[in-house]
């Protein structure tokens, strides 16, 4: 099935048996309604925000080199390096949809994806799939993506007065360094 009829369609990726449809951020609500009503995706499984800050920079997660070759003196490098392509913006919000029909023996899935920068709001799909309520609150809490039209966008996992959005790449891991006995 071709997904070009989805409102706001930008791009489609088919990989490893999964289909990802990227739509324009401004037309997300139209796309969501279309997918629920016309295409039958009545079940929203998950909303996942992802932060791509630092995605294809050098020295990110073991890439010690650039497209021209590898640095043999740096540890953890084997084979010719392949830098991942840059992403279109810093954040992506993926909506994992499922067409749920009772008694069915197949589970058609689709990933609806929008991309946004820091500070750009995304429309809330609570009016389309009520289950999005807590998923969007978690996305706000953990990544700082604001959802317009959400009835109750407050922190859900962290304390109400917590500052910062923990799952962002520029937020430190935290914790405590290991203290060794014998050093002081």
Residues near other proteins, by CB under 8 A: 15-18, 20, 42-46, 48, 50-51, 55-56, 60-63, 75-76, 78, 82, 84, 94, 96, 100, 102-107, 109, 111, 126, 129-131, 133-134, 138, 142, 151-152, 155-159, 166-167, 171-176
Contact assessment for residue 147 and residue 123, using Cβ atoms and an 8 Å cutoff: yes
Give yes or no for a contact between 116 and 91, defined as CB atoms under 8 angstroms apart: yes
**Smallest distance from the beta carbon of 94 to other proteins, in angstroms?**
7
Q: Which residue, 25 or 138, is less far from other proteins as judged by CB?
A: 138
C-alpha 114: how far from its chain's center? 8
Residue whose CB is less far from other proteins, 8 or 127: 127
Positive or negative: CA dihedral 94, 152, 128, 103: positive
We find the least distance from the C-beta atom of residue 30 to other proteins, in angstroms, to be 19
Specify whether the CB–CB gap between 35 and 19 falls below 8 A.
no
Pairing mode of beta strands 9-15, 18-23? antiparallel
Q: How far is the CB of 130 from other proteins (least distance, A)?
A: 4
CB of 108 to other proteins, least distance (A): 9
Cβ-based nearer residue to other proteins, 172 or 182: 172
Instruction: Please list the residues that pair with 51 across neighbouring strands.
Output: 91
Tell which residue, 170, 142, 122, has the closest CA to residue 24.
122
């Amino acid at each position: 099935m071709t997904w070009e009829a989805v409102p706001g369609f930008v791009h489609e990726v088919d990989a490893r048996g999964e289909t990802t449809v990227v739509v324009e951020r401004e037309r997300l609500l139209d796309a969501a309604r279309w997918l629920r009503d016309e295409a039958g995706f009545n079940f929203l499984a998950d909303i996942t925000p992802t932060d791509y800050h630092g995605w294809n920079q050098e020295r990110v997660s073991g890439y010690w080199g650039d497209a021209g070759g590898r640095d043999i003196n740096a540890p953890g490098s084997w084979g010719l390096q392949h830098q991942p392509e840059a992403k279109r913006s810093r954040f992506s919000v993926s909506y994992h949809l499922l067409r749920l029909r009772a008694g069915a023996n197949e589970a058609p899935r689709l990933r609806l994806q929008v991309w946004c920068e820091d500070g750009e709001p995304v429309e809330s799909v609570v009016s389309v799939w009520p289950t999005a309520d807590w998923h969007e609150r978690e996305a706000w809490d953990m990544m700082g993506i604001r959802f317009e039209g959400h009835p109750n966008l407050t922190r859900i996992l962290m304390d109400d007065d917590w500052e910062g959005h923990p799952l962002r790449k520029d937020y430190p891991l935290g914790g405590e360094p290991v203290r060794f006995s014998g050093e002081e």
